[in-house]
A and B are shown apart, each in its own frame.
Chain A
């Protein structure tokens, strides 16, 4: 697979906005898109004398996520002040976690059903709970003009999930992000909306080169300003190539220079060095004396673990084992989210035909959901209704192409399968009339009969079209079977 003369080494830091109603340390709303500086209070604007109090739900959601990532939950955790000056940080420090994070040492498994890379466990170094900063806005065209500061977002709870540098390609990084996002959605801990900043990614990347005398590492670069998963992939591809070229040109190794920060330019598709003063990395962390530590008992951990529910990896296996769907299909279904899996399971159980259910869901339903940008919850064909249709097809009552007509009717009018069949005038043709219809066809088509007798069984296909014209409700495979049977008897 590897064409490049280097191995790319990637670790990702993902900031997830937790789904709470209020901020991490005050009771201001976290609702997105409100007018600037209207969701603030003395605490999140850093007024002198104000004090933080931890949001219980934010901690619970963090714990749930950490457990789903197979992390350890230490008994004792606390919050530290990370000190730096920036106008969107009104206290002059961010309340974060430094040496005693609320979780550590987990993993997330990623796989690729197309086989581009082998399944692997990506290590999670830690996941910790911290507050977000506000928003600085600057109109670049106005040159030296002021920046404008909106503190609505200040203090929003973020879970920072830091991976080990275990990823070895942009594709793996993408798969990790997709899987992590899916997991977060299954857990219902975040809306994961990248446009609204609910999910943010920074990437640490460098190269390992096989050189005579051993493996050499290039300096680690942190890439920021990654606005989409696609941007992450492109930035990693660009950055690895750039680092290789710099290596060839200058031969600078890891350790020769301090860690560099580069920003991704989505328009020009390049990374660019960000100005970085040496002292800015001295954050002078110390435990925030305005907050008290959190002590978590093993009972509490188990109580939260019990709320995690069945996660994507386990569901994929269950669909393969209990419903006999392929690995690929299981992936497609599970990746659509927990509601979609529920829909599938309901249809498969009620219809008793999981494979057919899987085909229908992937071909008809996914297509329409994508076209209409709709979620399965909003979809007009209920699971019970679809099960009725799958059953009718499985029993031979309907052929697949008529089935699609019926489905269309069900979708348009919200009817059950039986109602839609009736609306479309589909009634099953009884065996006697079907037989006499076939006998008539054979009598009118002696050439077809002769060809079949010569061994050209395909020729019977011509009769099926005629049968459908005579009576659109006939089942094509039944027509075919009966005609072949009658010819054989002649």
Chain B
């Protein structure tokens, strides 16, 4: 039960912010550490429940084996696809260089 009963540290929050690709100011990081700590402390109450033999429920519906047939359907035109892009050149999306990431 690693993580339970332990509030978050600022370092934890910094690491999580990087994982979530959020740039937070020092003030935001501090506030986030405090607020997330409160929420984590609250949700840690689940630890008191014994759920050893319980099957997790991912979906209320519990459907299985939903497939689509392998038949092509028209998609979007390139103009439609790229119309919402912040930066594009009529053929491709453009993003800052991916090299070195």
Contact = CB atoms under 8 A, between A and B. Distances in A.
Contact of B92 (A42, A54, A150, A289): A150
A160 to B, nearest CB: 20
A292 B67 CA distance: 9
B97 to A, nearest CB: 5
A55 B70 contact: yes
A41 B67 CA distance: 18
Nearest to A58: B70
A59 interface: yes
Interface string B34-54: 000000000000000000000
B98 A27 contact: no
A28 B70 CA distance: 10
A56 B99 contact: no
A353 interface: no
A146 B96 contact: yes
Contacts of A271: none
Contacts of B76: 40-42, 45
Interface string A315-346: 00000000000000000000000000000000
* Secondary structure class of chain B's binding surface, majority of residues: loop
A124 B24 CA distance: 44
Candidate in B73, B91, B95 with the most chain A CB atoms within 10 angstroms: B95
Candidate in A42, A291, A292, A295 with the most chain B CB atoms within 10 angstroms: A292
Contacts of B70: 20-22, 55-58
Given A29-B72, A37-B81, A45-B76, A292 B64 contact: yes
Given A27-B72, A28-B72, A282-B19, A148 B89 contact: yes
A138 interface: yes
A38 B70 CA distance: 19
A56 B21 CA distance: 35
Contacts of B58: 287, 289
Nearest to B73: A27
A279 interface: yes
A27 B71 contact: yes
B20 to A, nearest CB: 9
Interface string A34-65: 01111111101100000001111111000000
Given A42-B76, A58-B70, A282-B19, A295 B65 contact: yes
Contacts of A85: 21
A37 B88 CA distance: 11
Contacts of B19: 279, 282, 284
B95 A146 contact: yes
On chain A, which size bracket covers the interface? Answer: 35 or more
A55 B69 CA distance: 6
B72 A87 contact: no
Candidate in A27, A151, A294 with the most chain B CB atoms within 10 angstroms: A27
A262 to B, nearest CB: 16
B94 interface: yes
A218 to B, nearest CB: 27
Contacts of B72: 21-22, 27-29
A149 B92 contact: yes
Contacts of B78: 35-38, 40
B99 to A, nearest CB: 6
A295 B62 CA distance: 11
B75 interface: yes
A275 B98 contact: no
Contacts of A148: 89, 91-94
Interface string A110-150: 00000000000000000000000000111010001111111
Interface string A156-187: 00000000000000000000000000000000
Nearest to A83: B19
16 contacts: A21-B72, A27-B68, A27-B72, A28-B73, A35-B78, A36-B78, A38-B77, A56-B67, A56-B68, A56-B69, A87-B95, A87-B98, A148-B94, A279-B19, A284-B19, A287-B58
Given A45-B81, A275-B100, A292-B65, 19 more contacts: A20-B70, A22-B70, A28-B75, A37-B78, A37-B91, A38-B77, A40-B75, A44-B75, A45-B76, A53-B68, A56-B67, A56-B69, A58-B70, A144-B97, A146-B96, A147-B96, A147-B98, A148-B93, A287-B58
Interface of B: 15, 18-19, 21, 58-59, 61, 63-73, 75-78, 81-82, 87, 89, 91-101
Q: Which 9 A-B pairs have the closest CB atoms?
A: A41-B75, A56-B67, A148-B92, A27-B73, A57-B70, A149-B93, A146-B94, A53-B68, A147-B98
Interface of A: 20-22, 26-29, 35-42, 44-45, 53-59, 85-87, 136-138, 140, 144-151, 275, 279, 282, 284, 287, 289, 291-295
